[in-house]
Amino acid sequence: MKKFLIVGLGNIGQQYEHTRHNIGFQILDALAKEHSTSFETDKLGAIAEFRYKGRTFILLKPSTYMNLSGKAVLYWMNKEKISIENLLVVTDDLNIDFGSIRLKAKGSAGGHNGLKDIQEKLNTTTYSRFRFGVGANYSKGRQADFVLSEWSKEEVSQLIERIPISCKVITSFGTAGLANTMNAFNGK
């Protein structure tokens, strides 16, 4: 049975729960709920697992805080014997309009410290990432405050639609493959 490691980036702690930077955690929480599974605390993160269309999806929410996410990713890839092709990292992106979806097979960290740490620990920039647009509605030099602030009421109402679509992106990645998923969802 093919296994996939789906990593949602975020920060642990209630003060971060509803922030833009935690969209990776929010999407994985919704996906786990959709597939009637729940997260359990384990080494370097919270883990949930489900089977779908003959595939096993292992969901990881690192407990290392955003900037040290690579340690948890590397540990769970090795523990579960997941190949780099079957890794998908779900993260926020300031350079994409709010709610827009962009999958990529490789690329730079784009100034994202979580991605930067993953690239350093894996020693490659070639791994799939799912970037969820959080927009760039902040004053110059205030991006850290922006991503660590909570969603606006308007954004929360739109997330009700965007998060289920994001869950479909993840299951499509595991069943239809990256290229087909990119064609079906990028820019949506």
User: Is the separation of the CB atoms in 133 and 96 below 8 Å?
Assistant: yes
Active-site residue identified among 18, 21, 35, 112: 21
E strand spans, 53-174 = 55-62, 87-93, 101-104, 128-133
Largest CA distance in the chain: 48
- Is 112 one of the catalytic residues? no
Question: How many angstroms separate the Cα of 152 from the Cα of each of 1, 17, 41, 77?
Answer: 41, 14, 30, 35
Rounded to an integer, what distance in angstroms lies between the CA atom of residue 73 and that of residue 147? 22
Residues belonging to the active site: 21
